[in-house]
A and B are shown apart, each in its own frame.
Chain A
Amino acid sequence: MNVFSFCDIDFKKPKNHLPSLETPFGTRSIRDSLAYCNRCGLCLQQCPFYVLTQEETFSPRGRNQALLLLIEGKLNLEKNKKQFLRLATTCSLCGRCTQSCPGKIPTPQHLLELRRLLKVRFLPKTLQLLLQWRADFPTLFYGLTQSGLFLRRWGVVKLLRFSGLANLLGCSWLHQIDRMIPPTKKAIRKKWSILKKEQEEKPSLIYLPSLETELFLPDIAISAWTLATQKHRPVLWTRTPTGLFEYVYGNVRKARQQLKKLITRHAQLQKGTLPLVTDSMDVYNYLKQAANLFENYPGWKRKAVQFSQQVLFVTDLFPQKKINVGAIATPVALDTSALFKTENTPSKNTQKILSTLFLKNFVYCDDRQADLPAFGYGFVSKNNANQLRLLAFRPLVKKEIKTLFVFSGWALMEAFAAGKKHAPQIQAMHIAQLNG
């Protein structure tokens, strides 16, 4: 492969790559964005993979430099494919590096470009296929997942796991996901399925639950819904893909198509003026940067910007009056793990809310060496994932945290599974559940 093709693709084939990145300091091409790195190393100790390996190759600085050299034609992709694959597969896109970087270099976005260039998807094939069907064949997708969940309740998934059949069928991921789903009461499931069918005629807000919330965590969906109904007449959009999956797993064009559909659907309802609230910080961060995908499509870019302005995170719906925290075990901590970990307003506000509510019982755990590896966004190997969980949990245990608030369904599932193993005393709660 011509080493310059990465550049060419960047600018001329926006179907496969982003032509440029939106950064807090303006729009930059990937090359410029990489060249802004001063190699100061302030990101090193923030990257969980660097902490684990202590190798430059697995540091944000190293990843950025490798990519820059690739673009400059000083490293050959074909010849070094194995190494580049390792660089790409060992980044969980957590964004801790960007947070600590003085120049706010968007390293995870660079790594996504590398993934796109490598044309490799980092998910098991069967899972990849299944998730792709969500947009392509929604009926099939929902049919399969609902029956899967039904069978799981009858122990079939356990049977598949322990008999080894899951592995034989190429579904070893079932093992992982099965451990991550917290139990839910039948009544809650029922309430959620009734809610899903209700559609408001004249809504004043759209609630877009994330896929994991919709499928596995009905209690979070109900909490978010309850929050929404306090002031609004909400409408539920359960089956609208945002394109996030495609964005992360490689196909920018499909991501763009799905996002276009979402924006169009939004625009059709009350001329695109309705606020759209999500319960996942990953989805929120992605939708807030929607314009990123339309750099070469000025008309769409305008629409995307308008659309992004309407996007809210569930904590934006918290009542102004004092929140009723109920019986939450203290001390509490906040896990800010999210795709790209953008320092955004909801995140800052949530910290403020928690410190006002819990005072000294809200503990900052800023010495954590890793975030929770969000399943699905940077499919890191099992071995790595276990070590990351330990890095993420150790300070929580040390500070005797009893409740850990998280920003997304995936983070909750991660915290649930990891907590069972490393810290059963810590109860994970989605931030939407704070309001009782």
Chain B
Amino acid sequence: MRKLSPAFLKQCAKIIGKENILTDDVSLALYSYDCSLSHTKPEGVLLIRKAEWLAPLVTLLYQYKIPFVPRASATNHAGGCTPLNGGVILNLTHLNHILEINTAQEYAWVEPGVVTAHLTEALASYGFFYAPDPASSTVCTIGGNFAQNASGARCMKYGGTLNHVLEADVILPNGEPLHLSLQEPGADLLGLLAGSEGTLGLITRLKVKILPLAKHIKTFLVPFPSLQESIQAVTDLVAQGILPRCVEALDQSTIQAIENFAHAGYPIAPAVLLFELDGDEEQINKETQLLQDICSRHHALDFKMAEEETEREKLWKARRSAYAAMAQLAPNVLVGDGTVPRSELPNALQKIRQLLDEHHLRACLLFHAGDGNFHPQIVFNGQNKQEVIQVKNVLKQILKTCVDCQGTLSGEHGIGVEKRSLMTYQYDKQTLDLFACIKHATDPDNLANPLKILPVHYEEEAKNASFPAEYQVIHDTLKEEKPFRIVGTNSRLGTKESSLFSTRRFNRILEIDTTNYVATAQTGVLVNDLIQTLSAQHLFCSWAPSAGTLGGAFASGCMPAIYQHILGVEAFLPDGSFIRYGGKFVKNAAGYPLTRLLAGSQGEWALITQLTFRIFASPVPVAKEKPFKSFQWNTWSKALKKELDPKGIFK
């Protein structure tokens, strides 16, 4: 292993002090792992006690070309904290101060090492809460959550970490500090950082959204005679316009395993769902009635309800005991994470159970039924090499099954090193190239958490993307390599330039899916037309009425509140390559969130052809429209522009 040079160590000590540089064998060994199966030793560990140290330190690392890996509580399952290319670990757990809580404007400023549950506790005394609730919240950090785009049971209603970060201070891999905000005109680079797993830079301070505590919460435990019926009940619930705070689910084998351990009194049924509703009393009572009707329509075997905290806790007991039940069965537990569109859940889960049974593996299957995200927890013996290989292989097959069911490799745990080889299964070569471009533009020397997310060699394995024939015209135009400007109706820009390319000709609503409550439309569709079509079917969306196109509303940056509802995107890049990202699933932690790279991008690096977004069965708050402001460039966006559009095709 390389060693850090004395010259570097000397300069480093000037910034952070000698006592905060660890190079002894024990420390190196103890900062070589996280909660995944991978291990790699760093060359040094730097304890970051003050956020101010980071900018000069990263600059120094950049000068010496030393790779660095940010590390918080190291609870991620993806191998995100392993220094694959040597270098140093930047330990951020000391940056654990809550800097400001502002209940009037509903935000809090925190350092990245603040433990998620500590923020929740601090807010509770003010009558507020922070919505993202990963099951590890008593130990994981807000910085780690953002870097992984973590989410939890409440995600169905409130969304993941990405939707709760409003602003952030970051340090780019060359040491340059940058302030990013969702409100800034231009591409949503703040959003692009979510799930970037420390590969695009360091997050040093975050402003997060906080919400008033729900006045009333009710929990329901409902067993169903089949998985299908249970999922159909969730779909019907959503169709009634009810968004439960969470819908957690367990399959029969899981319940059996947990019951043997926790004796929580769960009924042994093919599927058990735990619903939670929150809101004011009147609304909850109404929703409870509806929920009960829907459940009985789907032949629910029982309907238990709890309102008091202790009673609710009792209903949660078995669900919360799942990991412990598995942890005690055999030496080790591998936790998987995949997501499919909700409608595909029964099909995917059946296939996965079959796979596990074929390989005689003991596992529990837990899923967030509301958002199609599930976690197989497989029991194995880590000291038995054969068993480790087998478990890893089965997990790979499980994830492939997710992709086959139109899902994604990760809903919340990220890709890291553990799943990077599977990225070619989900993404086309052109999309992977775009991920690589983003990384290269931001970190040309490959210093920030290198070798993560992207497969090392994907060129041969990855498929080439093909685009629908009607887009041939775009492809041909791009191949001419003549600069042009992309517009929708040209209502915002009002430009008189001659070299315009309007997306108006692509004006079809491609699908309105009332099982998963998503719609897909071409970007030339007028927002008003979309709203009208949806309302004819008693459906709603949060696009603000506008005479412009969907593409315009999305890419102009005038409707930042819509970004959280965009699930998938298709686009052409300046070099003519066609990329696809996302789909009908509501959670995606595989790769950089391209929806955010393109949101507000004002046609600077992509011609967006199609968007997939959430729709609703009842009215939802409409995204406020802001006046148009032109792209505000910073060093990062400039570097991205240079990398993605070196010939300046998109004006």
User: Which residues in A have some Cβ–Cβ distance to B below 8 Å?
Assistant: 24-25, 32, 35-36, 38-42, 44-45, 54-57, 62, 65-66, 69, 74-76, 79-80, 83-84, 87, 100, 102-104, 367
Contacts and interface: CB of A to CB of B under 8 A. Distances in A.
Contacts of B27: 56-57, 83
A204 B328 CA distance: 39
A79 B91 CA distance: 24
Interface residues of B, number: 35
B144 to A, nearest CB: 10
B138 interface: yes
B26 A55 contact: no
Contact of B138 (A24, A36, A42, A76): A42
Contact of B139 (A24, A41, A57, A69): A41
B138 A80 contact: no
A83 B24 CA distance: 8
B136 interface: yes
B444 interface: no
Given A35-B382, A54-B91, A103-B328, 9 more contacts: A32-B331, A38-B332, A45-B139, A62-B30, A65-B33, A79-B25, A83-B27, A87-B26, A103-B327
A38 B26 contact: no
A41 B71 CA distance: 13
A75 B22 CA distance: 16
A102 B383 contact: no
A102 B121 CA distance: 22
A41 B136 contact: yes
B563 interface: no
Contacts of B139: 41-42, 44-45
B26 A25 contact: no
B30 A45 contact: no
B34 A66 contact: no
A76 B115 CA distance: 34
B94 interface: yes
A38 B381 CA distance: 11
Interface string B522-550: 00000000000000000000000000000
B93 interface: yes
B609 interface: no
Contacts of A38: 35, 327, 332-333
A20 to B, nearest CB: 15
- Most chain B Cβ neighbours within 10 Å, of A42, A69, A100: A42
The 7 closest A-B pairs by CB, nearest first: A102-B324, A103-B327, A83-B26, A102-B327, A54-B93, A41-B75, A62-B30
B488 to A, nearest CB: 48
Contacts of B406: none
Given A38-B327, A38-B333, A39-B34, A57 B94 contact: no
B31 interface: yes
A36 B324 CA distance: 12
A69 B28 CA distance: 12
A99 to B, nearest CB: 12
A343 to B, nearest CB: 12
B449 interface: no
Interface string B78-102: 0000000000000101101000000
Contacts of A36: 327, 331-332
A55 B73 CA distance: 10
- Most chain B Cβ neighbours within 10 Å, of A40, A44, A69: A40
Contacts of A32: 331
B178 to A, nearest CB: 26
Contacts of A83: 24-27
